[in-house]
Structure 1
Amino acid sequence: MSSLEALFCYVDDFCRVFEPKLEQTRLSADNKARKRGKILTLSEIMTILIAFHQNHYRNFQHFYLDHVCVHWRQEFPQLPSYQRFIEWIPSTLIPLCVYWKHCFDFCRRSIFS
């Protein structure tokens, strides 16, 4: 199993538990504004963002265009354009923070137990 697959498995397992809880706590919007659906799942977006921090690229644009779009096209066959992906990043802020806290708490428990 590659490190990308392992990372995706961890993130996807987290998202399967987290997303229903997030939907329960969201306020219901009275206005039914049409939102464009995402091609990638939350776990796929988070995996790409976390992988960026694990690689040695200086900026995200070069990472996305030179690495993800070239080398990971098979793993993510429906990659959106760079601009579209950037528009989705703010929606991952809360899930990413909760995921990192979850990982940090897990590491702290394993060190001190």
Structure 2
Amino acid sequence: MFSRVAAFTLVALPLLAAATPLEGRGGEPASSCSTAPVQCCNTWSNTQASDPAAAGILGLLGIVLQDLTVAVGLTCSPITVIGAGSGSCSAQAVCCQDNSHGGLISIGCVPVTL
């Protein structure tokens, strides 16, 4: 009886491990950015609104955020055509909740994979 349980365990564990979903390592897919076009930000790297550079731009624009730990992107431009020359991003591609500040700052950003 014990040998059957051991054999079942040896067969079941690798199958269970193979079927376990992995968390994405490169951000969400660009197709899941439903709030606005994907942005290419020169500075992102999880820059938070409390960062001195971000806080300075937010202050100049008169933007007050309740959550200073929200990720922001600085000097962003939209990526319009994915896969074409103008759709490439040599910095960080992100999906942001608020892109309405003329590219100076984008608020609520998460990285995306193109």
* TM-score, normalised by the number of residues in structure 1: 0.24
Q: Choose between structure 1 and 2: higher helix proportion.
A: 1
More strand by share: 2
Compute the TM-score of the two structures, normalised by the length of structure 2.
Answer: 0.24
Please tell me whether Structure 1 or Structure 2 has the larger radius of gyration of its CA atoms.
2
